[in-house]
């Protein structure tokens, strides 16, 4: 929600600032612009945040009324509506169910970067993957499963894929797959295409960039992930509150900058579900402002915002 998240960005001012949040390109129109009314009533605000919480687990603080307006204003323009009350009438009406997904897409944050929180990828390369290679040598089973939960527009799973390809020289002899999921169906389209602004690739280490990133011939300002990387990653829409179709087990799960927007009860449930899908000894990577303290006892600390399943 890295998307992520990465995945959601309207619950806390500190988190919004951390995510580089400015409304995601949306703006608060002046009072006389195209008939827009800047205020959002308490009733409309409460309806939107009730829907956000019940359908996506998003907890929206009382003081986030202006931010919610900025977020939904784009949807109002798309529907040619003049007020949030008009929009809420749709949400409450017979077509309301069809509008849930666009609303959640509008409310979610998609700020992410390649190799964000680089120490996670260093740990994966130096600790997690050597451990998995040793297990494969001992058992003869070269199966590897990684889940990027809240993957946003795909920078995180592609960073995982590059780390994987760079760390396991015989990866073509492995049954290796990366699942990338996010609640925002629009950002998943970017990840599936694997095409980004060339400036976004500057966060990729130079050696990896030369191997796995291609400048687009038709547009030199754009770049694409290599076919090998795209073959490793499968993008799927998923609301983390819904039943999960995958059964695992996963060796590694990334869920970064997502759970800080959930209630503690939702966090406890979510990490318990993660534990059920991660192998004993497998690793969980979370955001630097997140913690499992008093949330889950099924993991031990293995590094900065890195946990290992123990039960």
pLDDT tens, 60-107?
999 888 889 999 999 999 999 999 999 999 999 999 999 999 999 999
**Predicted local confidence at residue 261, as pLDDT:** 80
| 126 and 30 co-located in one domain | no
Tell whether the torsion through CA atoms of 76, 77, 78 and 82 is positive or negative: positive
pLDDT digits over 110-123, tens only? Answer: 779 999 999 999 99
Domain end (from 75, 107, 139): 107
Q: If pLDDT is split at 50, 70 and 90, which confidence band does 296 have?
A: very high
Burial profile 259-284: b = 16 or more Cβ within 10 angstroms, e = fewer = bbbbeeebbbbbbeebbebbeeebbb
| 272 and 295 co-located in one domain | yes
| pLDDT > 60? residue 162 | yes
Domain holding 86: CATH number?
1.10.155.10
**Predicted local confidence at residue 111, as pLDDT:** 77
Helical axes 96-107 vs 185-193, angle rounded to 10°: 60
Structural domain includes residue 97: yes
The structural domain count of the chain equals: 2
Structural domain includes residue 277: yes
| pLDDT > 90? residue 29 | no
| 58 and 133 co-located in one domain | no
Q: Is position 197 annotated as part of the catalytic site?
A: no
pLDDT digits over 226-273, tens only? Answer: 999 999 999 999 999 999 999 999 999 999 999 988 999 999 999 999
Q: Is position 26 annotated as part of the catalytic site?
A: no
Q: Which of 26, 44, 182, 251 is catalytic?
A: 182
**Domain region containing 282:** 118-309
Q: If pLDDT is split at 50, 70 and 90, which confidence band does 10 have?
A: very low
| pLDDT > 70? residue 27 | no
Q: Which of 65, 71, 116, 298 is catalytic?
A: 71
| 210 and 249 co-located in one domain | yes
Q: How many CA atoms lie within 13 A of 143 on its CB side?
A: 6
| 97 and 241 co-located in one domain | no
pLDDT digits over 132-146, tens only? Answer: 999 999 999 999 999
| pLDDT > 70? residue 35 | no
């Amino acid at each position: 929600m890295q998307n992520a998240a990465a995945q959601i960005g309207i619950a806390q001012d500190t988190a919004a600032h951390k995510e580089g949040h400015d409304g995601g390109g949306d703006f608060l129109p002046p009072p006389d612009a195209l008939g827009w009314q800047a205020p959002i009533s308490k009733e409309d605000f409460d309806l939107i945040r009730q829907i956000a919480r019940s359908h996506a687990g998003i907890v929206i603080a009382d003081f986030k009324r202006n931010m919610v307006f900025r977020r939904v204003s784009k949807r109002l323009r798309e529907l040619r509506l003049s007020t949030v009350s008009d929009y809420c009438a749709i949400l409450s009406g017979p077509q309301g169910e069809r509008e849930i997904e666009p609303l959640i897409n509008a409310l979610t944050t998609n700020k992410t970067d390649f190799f964000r929180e680089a120490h996670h990828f260093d740990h994966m390369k130096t600790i997690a993957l050597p451990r998995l290679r040793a297990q494969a040598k001992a058992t003869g089973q070269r199966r590897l499963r990684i889940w990027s939960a809240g993957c946003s527009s795909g920078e995180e799973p592609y960073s995982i894929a590059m780390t994987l390809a760079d760390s396991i020289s015989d990866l073509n002899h492995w049954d290796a797959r990366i699942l990338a999921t996010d609640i925002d169906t629009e950002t998943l389209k970017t990840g599936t295409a694997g095409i980004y602004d060339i400036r976004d690739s500057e966060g990729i280490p130079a050696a990896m960039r030369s191997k796995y990133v291609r400048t687009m011939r038709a547009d030199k300002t754009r770049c694409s992930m290599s076919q090998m990387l795209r073959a490793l990653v499968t993008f799927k829409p998923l609301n983390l509150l819904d039943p999960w179709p995958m059964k695992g087990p996963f060796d590694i799960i990334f869920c970064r900058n997502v759970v800080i927007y959930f209630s503690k009860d939702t966090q406890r449930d979510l990490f318990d579900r993660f534990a059920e899908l991660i192998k004993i000894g497998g690793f969980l990577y979370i955001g630097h402002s997140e913690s499992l303290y008093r949330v889950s006892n099924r993991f031990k600390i293995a590094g900065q915002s890195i946990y290992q399943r123990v039960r």
